[in-house]
Amino acid sequence: RKEVEQDPGPFNVPEGATVAFNCTYSNSASQSFFWYRQDCRKEPKLLMSVYSSGNEDGRFTAQLNRASQYISLLIRDSKLSDSATYLCVVNGVTGGGNKLTFGTGTQLKVEL
Amino acid sequence: DAGVTQSPTHLIKTRGQHVTLRCSPISGHKSVSWYQQVLGQGPQFIFQYYEKEERGRGNFPDRFSARQFPNYSSELNVNALLLGDSALYLCASSSGPSGETQYFGPGTRLLVL
């Protein structure tokens, strides 16, 4: 079983749609959680951190369920510029280090 | 302020050769991590260095090595290159050794022929 699992997509949605991405992780000792965005042939960029209480940043809402080891990202009112790959990321923080474990990414294409 | 910088941006090598990739972290950051991203996959952790000491190592062969310098910049070395080493190599910096947000550089795209 992969440490972080995501549906690879692609998700093709019309502009203005609401889209949800899900992710599961296997290590119950994981400490922190993130969504990164990666544009084609570019580096990953932090979109938002994910907390059990849920957090919202404009059109983006992230949620963590530690009991189910499940992370979600909701994008409302999709824009063309949201087209990218969204990476679910878990930080194990084991052995005093800072190791990020990435899912394979979910590709989003927002269309007119 | 400059972000994470990496050099070179692109590199072409042949099997069996050696390669050195370089990374300069964000000013004030003392931790550098290296990741390998092959096409269609998420980045895979290779190494983390903090204050010039190795803090973590991923599941990569001994052909991969790294070091961090007193100015916190870092080098990733790969010996005896294989075709499968072709990938985007990403460097990430963070302010501390664990739990802090990591910021990625633009990467070095390595092609092994």
Query: Along the 113 residues of chain B, how does pLDDT read in single tens digits?
Result: 689 999 999 999 999 999 999 999 999 999 999 999 999 899 999 999 999 999 999 999 999 999 999 999 999 999 999 999 999 999 999 998 877 889 999 999 999 99
Q: Are A98 and B90 inside 8 Å of each other by CB?
A: no
Q: Is the pLDDT of residue A1 over 80?
A: no
Q: Rg of chain B over CA atoms, in angstroms? A: 13
3 state SS of B113: coil
Residues in chain B closer than 8 A to A34 (CB atoms): 101
Question: Tell me: the pLDDT tens digits for A13-23?
Answer: 999 999 999 99
CA distance A23 to A43: 20
DSSP labels for chain A?
A: --SEEE----EEEETT--EEEEEEES-TT--EEEEEEE-TTS--EEEEEE-TT-EEETTEEEEEETTTTEEEEEE-S--GGG-EEEEEEEE---TT---EEE---EEEEEE-
Chain B interface test: which of A43, A90, A91, A94 (most B C-beta within 10 Å): A43
Question: Which residue in B42, B92, B97 is closest to A105 by CB distance?
Answer: B42
Confidence tier at A93 by pLDDT (50, 70, 90): low
Instruction: Name the helix (H) or strand (E) containing B5.
Output: strand B5-7
> With an 8 Å Cβ cutoff, is A55 touching chain B?
no
Q: What's the mean pLDDT in A72-80?
A: 97
Confidence tier at A28 by pLDDT (50, 70, 90): confident
Q: Are A43 and B104 inside 8 Å of each other by CB?
A: yes
CA distance B106 to A24: 27
Q: Is the pLDDT of residue A43 over 90?
A: yes
Q: What are phi and psi for residue B93, nearest 5 degrees?
A: -120, 150
> With an 8 Å Cβ cutoff, is A66 touching chain B?
no
